[in-house]
Amino acid sequence: MTFRWKLFAPLVVWLAIYLWPVPPGLNANQWHYFAIFAAVITGLILESMPVGAVGLIGLTVAGVGGYIESDPGKSLRWMLAGFSESTVWLIVGAFVFSIGYRKSQLGRRIALLLVRSLGTNTLGLGYAVAMSDFLLAPATPSNTARSGGIVYPIISNIPRIYGSEPGPTAGKIGTYVMWTAFAATAVTSSLFFTALAPNAAALAIAKKTVGIDVSWAQWFIGFAPLGILLMILVPLISYVVCRPEVKRSPEISEWASKELAAMGPMSRNEWIMFALILLAMFLWITGSSPDIRVPFLGSNFINATMVVFIVISLMLVTGVITFHDIVSEKSAWEVFFYFTSLLTLASGLNEIGFIKWVANEYAKPLIGLSPPTVMVLLVALFFWIHYFFSSITSHAAAVLPVVLAVGSGIPDMPVATLALLCMYSLGLMGVISPYATGPAPMYFGSGYIGKGQFWGFGLLFGLIYFAGLLFIVLPWLMWR
C-alpha cells in the first residue's frame, strides 16, 4: 500500500499542476513542463521507484511532449545531450574510484593507521575518524562511497570492543564514534569540490544560470577558513554533545595494530592505487587552474572529468580493477541515468524561460531590501528547505536555479558570492536529517544514534554550520 501511494503521488502532483490555471506571465507549455519537473522531484523525494527510472521517465515524457523542442529530431537531441555532460561522467567516476579503494584495501589501511596513531583516548579516536574522511575526501567524489565503502566498515568494529551495542549501551562510545564520522563527512563534502558528486552538478547549474565557474583550488580556498576550523571543532563538539561514557580507548589502538599486522605490508595494488590518487589530486589541483602551467600539458589545461578517465584507464591497465568491476557497479549506472535526466530537466526550466519568470515573481517582495539582507534570506531558504529533500542533487537541481535567478534580479547583488555560499552549503546541509544525504540512512540505521538524537544533533550541527557560512565564509568571500 505504501509503495502504491508513493508511486501515484508524482502523478497526482503532475495532474494537479497541469490542471491548475496557468499563472499570468507564463504560457501553457511552460506551466505544463514545470508540472513534469515537479512530478519528477516528487518521485525522487519519495523514492517512488529507483531514482534512475524516475529521471528517465520524466525526461522521456518531456521529450515526447516536445516541451523544449517541437521538432521530434531536435527534441531527441535535447534528451540525449545530457549523456555527454562531463559532470555526469565525473559522478560515475566517483563510484569507479571507490571500487579501486575497496579492492586494493588502501582505504582500509589508511583508516586503521589513523586509528592506531590517534586512538589512545576517545577524543583522539574522534579526530582519527574525522581525519580518515578528510584524507580520503579529495579523491573520493562520493560521500556515500567514502562512508559506506571505506570509513563505516572500519569504525563499525570499534564500539563492540567496549560492549557498546546498538540500544541501551550505544552511549558508551558508539554514538560518539558514529556521529563524529557523519558530521565530519558533511564538512569534507563542502571543503573539497571532488568530495561530493552534487558539487559538480551544482557548478554546472551555476554555469548555465549565471555564468560562474571556479577551479578546484578556488573552491577549496573559498571554504577553507570554515572547513578547516570545523574539522578541528567537530570531534570536540561531538564529544561534548554525545558525552561518551568511555573516556580512554587504548584497546582500539591495539586492535588497529592487530588488523594492520594481519594485512601485512602494502600490496602492489595498494601502492599503485596510492600513486594514482596522488596523480589525480595533482591534476585536479593544477590542471584546471589558469595560474599554474603543468609541463606535460603544454599550454592546455585538463578538465576534472578527463582526470577521472585517465586514472580509471590506468587502474584498468595495472589491474587494480577490471572492466567487469565497472559494468557490475549497478549504483554507478543508476546514478548515470539519474543525474543525466535531472540535469537535463533542470536546464530545460531555464531554456523555456520558467526560471526567469520565477525570479521576477519572487524578487518583487525583496525590492527595497539591501543586497546583504537578500543574500542571507536566499541562502537561509536554500539551506533549510533541505528538510523537504532526500537528495542533495535533486535539491540543487530544483532550488539552486531559482535562488540564483532571484539573486541576479537584485541590483548590486554579488551573484558569484551568493552562488558559492549555496554550493558550499550542499555538503553541510546533509547533516540535518536521517535522510538528508547518502550516508545519513547508513549511520541512522546503525542503531547507535537514536531517532530523537539524530534529529536533535542534526538541528544543532545544522545551526552551527549555517552560522559558519554567514559569519566566516561570507566575510571571507567578500574580502577576497
Three-class HEC string of 77-123 = HHHHHHHHCHHHHHHHHHHHHHHHHHHHCHHHHHHHHHHHHHCCEHH
What pLDDT sits at residue 290? 43
Taking the C-alpha atoms of residue 448 and residue 177, their distance in angstroms, rounded to an integer, is 9
What pLDDT sits at residue 359? 67
Where do the DSSP E strands lie in 17-93?
none
**Contact in structure between 446 and 166 (CB atoms under 8 Å):** yes
Taking the C-alpha atoms of residue 170 and residue 177, their distance in angstroms, rounded to an integer, is 10
**Contact in structure between 198 and 270 (CB atoms under 8 Å):** no
What pLDDT sits at residue 479? 85
What pLDDT sits at residue 357? 79
**pTM attached to this predicted model:** 0.70
What pLDDT sits at residue 47? 67
**Contact in structure between 409 and 418 (CB atoms under 8 Å):** no
What pLDDT sits at residue 3? 52
Taking the C-alpha atoms of residue 171 and residue 166, their distance in angstroms, rounded to an integer, is 9
β-partners of residue 424 are: none
Q: Pick out the chain residues at pLDDT < 50.
A: 1-2, 288-292, 294, 296-299
Strand, coil or helix: 248: strand
Find cell 569534507 and name the residue.
Answer: 188
Q: Report which secondary-structure segment, H or E, holds 154.
A: helix 152-155
Q: Give every CB contact of residue 376 below 8 A, 6+ residues apart in sequence.
A: 470
**Contact in structure between 387 and 427 (CB atoms under 8 Å):** no
Find cell 589541483 and name the residue.
Answer: 285
